[in-house]
Chain A
Amino acid sequence: DTAVSQTPKYLVTQMGNDKSIKCEQNLGHDTMYWYKQDSKKFLKIMFSYNNKELIINETVPNRFSPKSPDKAHLNLHINSLELGDSAVYFCASSQGQWTGGEQFFGPGTRLTVL
């Protein structure tokens, strides 16, 4: 299937733990994104990478560290998880930094911090 995939789909963990979410796209895109959707359904961009280079870094705690080993992958590592990190995290990709606004989204990873 040609798509953006994320693993895991669900993640339940204790406060203080460190966890990673992985994202892969096989669309041949060179730009990838991480979004956070909070309990009120607001979808907010966190990071964007173009050709493995960080191009957007919103005001996000430095406990969040994205890593892009290649153009097809963008992983999100979160240290010292807090209750407020509970959310749905979406990965997305696009071809080029500007392609008329079309981004292709993954299915989301629901993170619950207890």
Chain B
Amino acid sequence: AQRVTQPEKLLSVFKGAPVELKCNYSYSGSPELFWYVQYSRQRLQLLLRHISRESIKGFTADLNKGETSFHLKKPFAQEEDSAMYYCALNSGQGAQKLVFGQGTRLTINP
């Protein structure tokens, strides 16, 4: 069964410190993985996708098929990074069927 696990419900770091939000997945096929973010009073929105191999707002995420992980990282956290982060897996075949993790609430302390 397809599953996305985010082991940390809450994560708190100081401004300027490195951040890593963990995501592990379970999927028998070739995974398509994403990170979505929800800032306070804003809508859930796409942050980045593994196929793009891009850095958005200083965040990167590398797909590690051996460890079935897709951790989100940023070397120097900023206060505006405080938000709810969701890891998601596309489990559809020909259709977009996103399976979300439980989410991690990231708080950046000044």
Q: A residues near B, CB below 8 A?
A: 4, 31, 40-45, 48, 50, 55-56, 90, 94, 97-107
CA distance in complex: A50, B100 (Å) = 21
Interface bin, chain B: 20 to 34
Shortest B29–chain A CB gap in Å is 14
Question: With contacts A101-B32, A101-B34 known, is A45 near B97, CB below 8 A?
Answer: yes
By the criterion CB–CB under 8 Å, are A98 and B43 in contact? no
By the criterion CB–CB under 8 Å, are A101 and B102 in contact? no
Which of B18-26, B57-65, B87-95 is near enough to bind chain A?
B87-95
Q: Which of A4, A43, A98 contacts B100 (CB 8 A)?
A: A43
Kindly name the residue among A31, A43, A105 whose own CB sees the greatest number of chain B CB atoms within 10 A. A43
Shortest A70–chain B CB gap in Å is 20
10 pairs of residues in contact across A and B, judged by CB atoms under 8 Å:
A4-B43, A42-B102, A43-B103, A94-B96, A97-B92, A97-B94, A97-B95, A97-B96, A98-B96, A101-B49
By the criterion CB–CB under 8 Å, are A48 and B43 in contact? no
Question: With contacts A100-B51, A101-B49, A101-B90 known, is A56 near B44, CB below 8 A?
Answer: no
